[in-house]
Structure 1
């Protein structure tokens, strides 16, 4: 087979076709994970996609590349579910509640996917898939905090610490709840997390001599950059 030459149009079509096939296989992987759980095998994914296993790995460098593509898709899903956070409106409590509800809702709906990413973080040689997902969320949340810290004329250097702390708190508590969901209702969990996050932010503001009514509207924040 003749390889497509750069500039003749075939290279772009080839790359586009490969990306489409990769996306289709990731779709199949998500369905297989939902059905078979975090220990899903490449054979399960290939069966769900309706192809032989060798065809699956023609589109991915190796198992780690496939896991990375799955993690990227999970990140996209979570980012979309948290859209109200990236364009904040309303009071502090409304913003926090919307974010917590979105995260716990996604986790409840995609529990096996979360477990899959966590498992591959534990067995991977580097930081891992779920850690990367949380990092993307925390970095975006940092931009939101930077905006409001600037509005209140506070030191924006604390924004990353705040955002990673909030993401870590919500994620670790929600992940624990996922393994024992009957101990608390999702609504009660979300209410607890909303209060805890507010107390963390409130303490930060009060330490700088600023008091904010959590139920009064805040100035609208600018959209978070991609």
Structure 2
């Protein structure tokens, strides 16, 4: 063996270990999601380990502590929610269809993953000072996707893109807080009624931002066609 070949072998082993480590972390996170669905938001680390088929101590060979596991669960949740919401942001749809699609997908996801939602909420309340807040992580990720979309279309319509981020976070905050309250206290309102209510609110917010910049979108015409028209196409 030559001296020059040794680092390559070490690097190869390190890469394989890193890949295996990440794969195992993801498997444990998926097991945690199943355990949360089964046992609820107060799921214990022991129950997560049992779901994964390993001893509790085995988990902590892949996570530094409980907050690290909770943060990984949050990251996986962001992936799942994003996969549900992004298809609704199809510019071939009308603006109102896009708004309604995202809101309906969000409500549906919360209803179907009620225990996970409560788990993230519980973690947000109990998160150690200065630590990562899983609930905030999730909302910020969704708002980040909306910010990019808002920046694109505000730019296409010749508007100030600086309002994109605040608008996105405002929309997410409105939908998140209203939906969270509805999950806890429906008040006799069903999912479709809630989606209708929120769609109206969100569209009026977006419409107000656009009108302040001199842009009037037709809520019932595909967004892509309106963008093309604005660009002179």
Does TM-score exceed 0.5, indicating one fold?
A: yes
**What is the deviation of 1:108?**
0.9
1:98 aligns with 2:101: yes
Q: Size of the alignment, in residue pairs?
A: 217
Conserved? CA contact 2:207–2:217, under 8 Å: yes
Structure 2 length-normalised TM: 0.88
Structure 1 length-normalised TM: 0.91
**What is the deviation of 1:88?**
2.9
Runs of 4+ in 1 over 6 A off after TM superposition: none
Structure whose alpha-carbon radius of gyration is higher: 2
Note the residue ranges of structure 1 that are not aligned, 5 or more in a row. Answer: 222-226
1:194 aligns with 2:199: yes
1:74-223 superposed matches below 5 A: 74-124=77-127, 125-126=129-130, 128-181=133-186, 183-219=188-224
Structure 1 CA distance for aligned equivalents of residues 34 and 167 of structure 2: 35
**What is the deviation of 1:100?**
0.6
Structure 2 CA distance for aligned equivalents of residues 28 and 90 of structure 1: 36
Note the residue ranges of structure 2 that are not aligned, 5 or more in a row. Answer: 1-5, 228-233
- Partner-residue secondary structure (3-state), 2:211: helix
Conserved? CA contact 2:91–2:222, under 8 Å: no
CA deviation profile, 1:128-177 (whole Å, cap 9, x unmatched): 11101111111110111111111211110000010000000111111111
Conserved? CA contact 1:86–1:140, under 8 Å: no
- Higher fraction of helix: 2
- Partner-residue secondary structure (3-state), 2:217: coil
CA deviation profile, 1:39-78 (whole Å, cap 9, x unmatched): 1110110111111111111111100110011001000001
Structure 2 CA distance for aligned equivalents of residues 141 and 111 of structure 1: 23
1:29 aligns with 2:20: no
Task: Tell me which of 38, 43, 46 is aligned to 1:43.
Answer: 46
Structure 1 CA distance for aligned equivalents of residues 217 and 20 of structure 2: 52
Q: Closer, same or farther in 2 for the Cα pair 1:177/1:79, shift >3 Å? A: same
Q: Closer, same or farther in 2 for the Cα pair 1:6/1:86, shift >3 Å? A: farther
Q: What do you get for the CA RMSD once the two structures are aligned? A: 1.6
